[in-house]
């Protein structure tokens, strides 16, 4: 699994255990790990600013460190971490990626299935296609059109294509 090496996996199994029957669903497991973004809540002295909370759980700490390791990963999880880091900043991106890793681990341990990268690679292709669809209207507004080149499917998923000037004036 990307971001989780054998030492991290051993640490997680030591802290969590192989049986997650104590958690009725994935939300309870995530809540126990405290990997939810902190919401602004009222206290006597005023509102607490939203952000990531303090880490007291060693399993959550291991997941956050594993999430930081996704920064250079060329997988769907690595792309997710980089998107969240650009949008939210590094601390919240670590929490978001650790949250996703915890959800995956919960499902792997409860369903007793091995990690399957093909499920996430399908999501990766779908998100790449959605990004391309999002570019087409913007390019049309700039008097450009997207003309996919005749490349294999793998090359197209990496951004293969040609942008051509359509010749019409912007208006």
Question: Do 31 and 94 have their domain in common?
Answer: yes
pTM listed for this prediction: 0.65
Distance in angstroms (rounded) separating the CA atoms of residues 53 and 160: 41
Note whether 129 and 141 are within 8 A (CB).
no
Q: What is the pLDDT of residue 33?
A: 87
The residue ranking higher by pLDDT, 92 or 138, is 92
Residue with tokens 């292709």: 125
Q: What is the pLDDT of residue 85?
A: 92
Question: Do 72 and 98 have their domain in common?
Answer: yes
Q: What percentage of residues in the chain have a pLDDT greater than 90?
A: 5
**Which band of pLDDT confidence, cut at 50, 70 and 90, is reported for residue 86?**
very high
Q: Is residue 68 part of a domain?
A: yes
Structural domain for 156, as ranges: 131-165
Phi and psi at residue 9, to the nearest 5°: -65, -40
In the chain, the number of structural domains is 2
Question: Do 155 and 86 have their domain in common?
Answer: no
Q: Where are the alpha helices (DSSP H) in the chain?
A: 6-16, 26-33, 58-68, 76-88, 90-111, 117-141, 153-157
Least confident stretch, 54-68, 104-118, 147-161 = 147-161
Note whether 59 and 16 are within 8 A (CB).
yes
CA 141 from centre of chain: 30
Q: Is residue 99 part of a domain?
A: yes
Stretch 60-87: mean pLDDT: 88
How high does pLDDT run on average in the chain?
75
The residue ranking higher by pLDDT, 78 or 150, is 78
């Amino acid at each position: 699994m990307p971001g989780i090496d054998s030492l991290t996996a051993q640490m997680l199994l030591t802290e969590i255990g192989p049986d997650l029957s104590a958690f009725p669903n994935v939300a309870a497991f995530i809540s126990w790990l405290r990997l939810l973004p902190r919401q602004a809540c009222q206290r006597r002295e005023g509102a607490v600013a939203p952000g990531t909370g303090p880490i007291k759980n060693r399993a959550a700490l291991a997941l956050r460190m594993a999430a930081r390791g996704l920064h250079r990963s060329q997988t769907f999880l690595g792309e997710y971490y980089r998107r969240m880091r650009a949008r939210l900043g590094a601390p919240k991106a670590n929490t978001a990626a650790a949250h996703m890793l915890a959800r995956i681990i919960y499902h792997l341990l409860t369903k007793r299935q091995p990690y399957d990268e093909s499920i996430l690679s399908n999501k990766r292709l779908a998100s790449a296609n959605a990004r391309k669809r999002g570019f087409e209207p913007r390019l049309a507004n700039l008097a450009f059109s997207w003309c996919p080149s005749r490349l294999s499917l793998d090359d197209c998923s990496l951004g293969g294509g040609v942008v051509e000037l359509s010749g019409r004036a912007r208006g």
